[in-house]
Structure 1
């Protein structure tokens, strides 16, 4: 494995802003930005919210939802009604298929709108998979796809919610800002309308205006409260939109599981292919090459047997040593495929055998009442084996420990060493990343906790299946 453990701190030295006599130089642009940020932070978060970009994006999302909802609702109801009415003829099938296909396209646009304005990342649903080529196969795939019907349902349900959210958001926003800014524009009424202010009530005998300083101040205060509440009201409205987009326009749980299983199957196939190539390479470069050389040496010894018996005996003795080496290589290769001790005696004995070959002392503690399925047991064995190889090659540790136990329906593995740390499973192509991919292929998890300076703690979880279970 090519797992790279971290190296001790190589920190780039940057200027610390210290001038003469140790005083900090605050004249640079960095300090200017920091001071500006601190000045902005002087305004409490609640007062800043009406001016944040997030609030305005959410407000734009709600406002755009109404015309988009009208378009989607009108189109979808028209296509569904027309298609259902024409089902007595063959024309209803292509009309329904066209409507559902358009719903999938509208769904893609809505995911883009939600991503841009709400910051909501929703994966694309599973694509259509016609069983054959042709228009009939395509229409059948569209009509049978649950994704198509869910996106059509979104087009129908989004419209009434868009009407409600638009009405609430625009009303709250416009009332809040108009009341808050009333002291700035109330003079328009006496100057251009011939009235004393904004009329709240009026009949033939009485009229009430907002025209004195106290009433104007109260109006502005109420407007301030409404304006401060508006972002949270809009956010609550968009929460429903988030749920609708995520639930109706994203992949279904079944579809996501199918995609995950397809990916895991590819990982398993690639891993098996890599293991076969490794075995072929080890046989070709190791035992096979030694056996070929052994056959040649025995042939030469046979020719010299009569002419020079001592030389022939020496050659046979060397060939005997080569046979022992070839047998040891074959044993190591067989152990790398599936060790006999694992089959015969289980994880405790097999991991103890692996630990005895590690370059650092390893404590092994296996607490299992029963054995898991052979496949899970083999994955657990090779996971610990690779982690101990990493410790031997890269960690610089003085000791390590291996703990194995069962937690409900999970087989837990934990390998800890006191080395230099810095192990990283996120880098593509690293040994730990490959190991994490293998575990993920069987619904397993690999968690690496390895701060620079150590210690390194690698925890693996595997699904528990009892021995003999299907």
Structure 2
């Protein structure tokens, strides 16, 4: 071993690892005794009223031990390890749900397992490190590094937060908020449409019929004209209600499925649209509705902004995903970042109000699809063409459902 290698081997990190290994034994004894006593007493008293709260309190203490061990590992082993998410506080659900969350806390139970496993390992590492300091000095750096690497694995495996699970929980919480906000926005839109449209028209209609009733005996011809005008207003109000109902959930989608529903909205687009739906059976109603309104909004954006001559709609299934693609030969320039206004260039994905979108454009559409574990992709170079592809989770409507007609 050269002098340079020796200097590198006995660096500051090696001595920090030595401190970690030597202090792990007393820390392991404390943690082991606490874990065994806490589990034994808490589990043994579960038959009593105080058993569950006592066990929950013990698990909270195990969480604190885990936090202390993570801090020690960060300081002495130099590993980057995040803190797990805190448990939710008391809610309107009452004491029992709050207590149950703490009794099934995976972070606390992994900390208990860590304290139990680490005692025999702590005894071994303490003994080997102490012997190496006394009689195995030349190989001390190698032994210390090997032992501390095992400790790194234990800490990461048992004391680290479940990164994927934590991110998934955070994403689900965000998606839940988005779904609630979207539902609230849709309810406000329906209320506004009813108030400004059909409701106002029906109020005016009731007033006109009241005037016609008053004129019925005095001027039958004028009353007849007013009744005739009211008849026309009834037809308009009915059409407005039909349009509103179609915006909530079209009857053709419920009765005949995506193929017929998409063909119906394709006829309302300002450019010719080719529809191709190739599904073995109907998807679940919720997924079917999301697919329908996604295409509906994209077609509205094509009509408003794309300056296209033709468009296509393709829907198919790939394993456990429902795929839909809307393309147009317009001027392109659509983006997912939501930048710009409704007047900027873009095709199927250009920003626009859409069906109940409230001006959210492509960014809002992507958020809605993401809320159900879907993905929205936009390929729209300036000059076109624009291709918008959406992936949705596939769930069949029912077992043994008939193929889509």
Band the TM-score falls in, shorter-chain normalisation: 0.5 to 0.7
* Residue aligning to 2:280: 369
User: 1:162-211 deviations in whole A, cap 9, x for unaligned?
Assistant: 999xx9xxx99x99xxxxxxxxxxxxxxxxxxxxxxxxxxxxxxxxxxxx
Distance change >3 Å, CA 143–CA 289, structure 1 → 2: closer
Residue 107 to residue 459, structure 1, CA distance change in 2 (3 Å): farther
Aligned to 1:315: 226
Q: Secondary structure at the match of 2:332?
A: coil
1:84 aligns with 2:40: no
Distance 1:294 1:328, change over 3 A: same
Match of residue 8 from structure 2? none
Q: What pairs up with 1:69-148 in 2 under 5 angstroms?
A: 71=23, 74-84=26-36, 96-97=58-59, 99-106=61-68, 109=71, 124-125=84-85, 127=87, 144-148=104-108
The within-5 A match list for 1:232-271 is: 245=156, 248-251=159-162, 257-271=168-182
Residue equivalent to 2:215: 304
Q: Which has the larger radius of gyration?
A: 1
Higher relative contact order (CA 8 A, sep 6+): 1
CA shift, 1:304, in A, is 2.9
**1:348 corresponds to:** 259
The SS at the match of 2:315 is strand
Is 1:455 the counterpart of 2:366 in the alignment?
Answer: no
Inter-CA distance 313–78: structure 2 relative to 1 (3 Å threshold) = same
Shift of 1:249: 0.9
Aligned Cα root-mean-square deviation (Å): 4.6
TM-score, structure 2 length as denominator? 0.68
* 1:427–1:433 contact (8 Å) kept in structure 2: yes
CA positional deviation for 1:282: 0.9
SS at match of 2:204: helix
Report the counterpart of residue 417 of structure 1 in structure 2: 328
- Unpaired runs of 5+ residues, structure 1, are 1-58, 176-233
Distance in 2, matches of 1:63 and 1:359, equals 75
Q: Secondary structure at the match of 2:199?
A: helix
Q: 1:98 to 1:273 in 2, by over 3 A?
A: closer
Shift of 1:84: 2.1
Deviation at 1:99, TM superposition (A): 4.6
Which sections of structure 2, spanning at least 5 residues, go unmatched?
1-10, 45-53, 133-137, 340-358, 401-405
SS of equivalent to 1:457? strand
* CA displacement, residues 107-142 of structure 1 (integer Å, 9 cap, x when unaligned): 66479879xx77x685744626678669xx77x865
CA deviation after TM superposition for structure 1 residue 143, in Å: 5.8
Are the structure 2 counterparts of residues 458 and 302 from structure 1 closer, same or farther at C-alpha, using a change threshold of 3 Å?
same
Using the size of structure 1 for normalisation, the TM-score is: 0.59
SS of match in other structure, 2:326: strand
Conserved in 1, the CA contact under 8 Å of 2:70 and 2:155?
Answer: no
- Residues 1:145 and 1:89: Cα distance change in structure 2 (over 3 Å): closer
**1:440 and 2:351 are equivalent in the alignment:** no
- 1:128 and 1:112, CA in 2 relative to 1: closer, same or farther beyond 3 A? farther
> Bigger CA drift: 74-83 or 457-466?
74-83
Displacement of 1:244 in angstroms is 5.6
Aligned length: 345
Conserved 8 A contact 1:126-1:255 = no
Shift of 1:358: 1.1
Q: Structure 2 matches for 1:129-278, cutoff 5 A?
A: 144-151=104-111, 245=156, 248-251=159-162, 257-278=168-189
